[in-house]
Structure 1
Amino acid sequence: MGITTGSIVAVDRGNFESAVIATSHERPVLIDFYAKWCGPCQMLGPLLEQLVQEYDFVLAKVDIDRAQDLANQYQVEGVPDVRLAVAGEVLPGFVGALPEPQLRELLETRLQLHSALATGLNEVRAAVAADDLACAKTHLDRLFERYPNHPALTLEAARFLVYGSRFEDAEKLLQAIDVRQIEHYSPAQALIELIHLQQAACSETGSDLDPPFAKAIHFALTEDYDRALPLLLEIVSASRKYRSDGARKAALAIFKLLGADRELTQRYQQELMLVLY
């Protein structure tokens, strides 16, 4: 993939100079001052250990109860306390347990690192866009070897299955994304909603809205949202009762897949509100 991933090392006074200071001349080091009795440390630690599998940095774990001299030297007053070591210099990081999106932002903006997983997912999408499904599957298989339980990969694999019209297999994958995986749970449920609507669209009701609805759901499942959303709004305007308000549900599912900050979401949310009210 062209991006190497990091490593984890336990650090105390004996190896601090070699494992942190010397190593930081070659690649960034995150120094995680933690304690086993610390609740926030138990939340942050697994996140950092997950991210080190994606980004090229060293995670140096310092148990302050075993390395009190280091904690005193760097004036650690509360844990978790994460410092950044770059080019031999130890810099301020953050105190407390940050959520995953903010941790990624720190790695990508302050340390200029790139996720190997994100690079791999981009390769999958490029292969699908080129209609090279064999290549896409090869990329997915390799990624699953490295990140077998990562929700972002599970979601991308489900999209791949949807692209190949393997809707039942896709839904089974999506069901594995837990509600606690907040960033990925909502889009996973939205994709399940679209799969169910696609299955409903296969049965005709005798309505003139059947063909545009089927077309809109097809566009939505193939991520052609620019063509899906106008059709769905036309159906909502024509009949809220059609397929138990299925067009509105499909539009809301698309908004969840896109994300609230996307221009397309904001524009069509406003248009949907005008149609509804």
Structure 2
Amino acid sequence: MGYSLEVYDHNFEEEVLEKSRQTPVIVDFYATWCGPCQMLAPILKQVAQEYDCVVAKVNTDENPYIPQAYGVQGIPDVKIFRDGEVIDGFVGVLPEPELRNLLAKCQIRSDLDDRMDAVKQAMDSGDSEAAESQLLALCEAYPDRPQLFLDAAKFYVAIGEFEKAEARLAEVPASDRQYAPQVEAVRALITFKRQCDRPVGESELDREFSRACCLTVSGNYKEALETFIDLVGRDRGYQNDGARKAAIAIFNLLGNDHPLTQEYRRQLTMALY
């Protein structure tokens, strides 16, 4: 898709500013003695191979003018250029998932993005067989992407194939702690799906809990959270604190930065105290 190259003071305008009018250019200001720079380098190399962009590397020791012109003080300093201007960036080593989120925010796409769009289209059209085939092909093509295995597990939960969902979750490295909350959230989705299909009892609380589980499985997280938090306020001990645990599982599923997580985490705290 893209490529990586070394850029110098004398050709920065041509290789970065002019080229960024055709495709995004990610500029990595680095030095050979910089440990964090060496940690970031293979991640950016992978980005250059997968994304529709250029990764331009500028050695700050050998090229002092351009770093000074762009206010580079600490390294690694990564700046993303489009149409001759800096549109975003970061200093230090950004974890790979956060870097990919940043690229998505900057509308820099990869082959994986295009193929995931095809999966979503198949799912939206109700073609589960095509969606499953495409997801499994992606898991095979990108075995180093835990998020793909999580997406595949969520797909299997949605169609009620719980054993296959657990098998996909087992392929997420246990040592990769950044994905642990999502793994637990998908396992919670399995519980939600089971309790949606088979309510645990006949009481009003049981019916409300089951309804919230169904809302979660269908993706109506807002109403699900409202219902779970209402249950917390009505009976904290219901299902061994199950409503609170269910709300937290949704927060993990959405991520800490999601607006619903931020809004309803406060409401959950109020319901508890």
1:143 corresponds in structure 2 to 138
How far the C-alpha of 1:226 sits from its partner, in A, is 3.6
Answer whether contact 1:40 1:96 (CA < 8 A) is retained.
Answer: no
The 3-state SS of whatever aligns with 1:236 is helix
Contact kept, 8 Å, 1:29 with 1:57, in 2: the verdict is: yes
Point out where structure 1 has 5 or more consecutive residues left out of the alignment: none
* CA apart distance, 1:35: 4.0
Matches within 5 A, 1:183-222: 184-196=179-191, 208=203, 209-222=205-218
**Equivalent residue letter for 1:131:** G
1:168 aligned residue: 163
Q: Residues 32-111 of structure 1 correspond to what in structure 2 (within 5 A)?
A: 32-61=28-57, 68=62, 71-72=63-64, 74=66, 79-82=75-78, 96-100=91-95, 103-104=99-100, 107=103
Q: Once the two structures are superposed, what CA deviation does each residue of 1:193-219 show, in whole Å capped at 9, x if it has no partner?
A: 343465578887656244433342233
Q: Residue 237 of structure 1 aligns with which residue?
A: 233
2:122 maps to what in 1?
127
CA contact (8 A) 1:127 1:135 kept: yes
Structure 1 residue 158 corresponds to structure 2 residue 153:
yes
Aligned residues: 264
- Name the stretch that deviates more: 33-42 or 152-161: 33-42
Give the superposed CA RMSD.
4.0
Unaligned runs of 5+ in 2: none
The whole-number CA distance in structure 1 between the counterparts of 2:186 and 2:55 is 35
Q: CA deviation at 1:57?
A: 1.0
Please give the TM-score of this superposition, normalised by the length of structure 1. 0.71
Q: Deviations over 1:52-93 (max 9, x none)?
A: 34431122345678xx3xx24545776434466767x69798
Using the size of structure 2 for normalisation, the TM-score is 0.72
CA–CA distance in structure 2, aligned partners of residues 108 and 206 of structure 1: 44
Query: SS of the residue aligned with 1:52?
Result: helix
Distance change in 2, residues 1:144/1:97 (3 Å):
same
Distance in 2 (CA, whole Å) between partners of 1:128 and 1:25 is: 35
1:257 to 233, 253, 259: 253
* 8 Å contact from structure 1 (residues 151, 181) kept in 2: no
Q: Deviations over 1:230-277 (max 9, x none)?
A: 432343334322321111100111122223444433443344334323
Match of 1:8 among 4, 8, 19: 4
Corresponding letter in the other structure for 1:144: C
CA contact (8 A) 1:159 1:170 kept: yes
> Residue type of the partner of 1:245?
D
Q: For 1:82 and 1:255, locate their aligned partners in 2 and report how far apart those are by CA, in whole Å.
A: 31
Alpha-carbon offset, residue 220 of structure 1: 1.7
Counterpart-to-counterpart distance in 2, 1:78 and 1:237: 49
Letter aligned with residue 174 of structure 1: L
| CA–CA separation in structure 1 for the residues paired with 2:267 and 2:78 | 45
Residues 46/178 of structure 1: CA separation in 2 closer, same or farther (3 Å cut): farther
**Shift of the alpha carbon at 1:151?**
2.8
Identity %: 37
Q: Tell me if the contact between 1:194 and 1:250 (Cα under 8 Å) persists in the aligned partners.
A: no
- Provide the rounded CA distance (Å) in 1 between the counterparts of 2:115 and 2:185: 23
Residues in 1 aligned to 2:79 and 2:91: alpha-carbon distance in whole angstroms: 12
Q: Which of 7, 20, 25 pairs up with 2:15?
A: 20
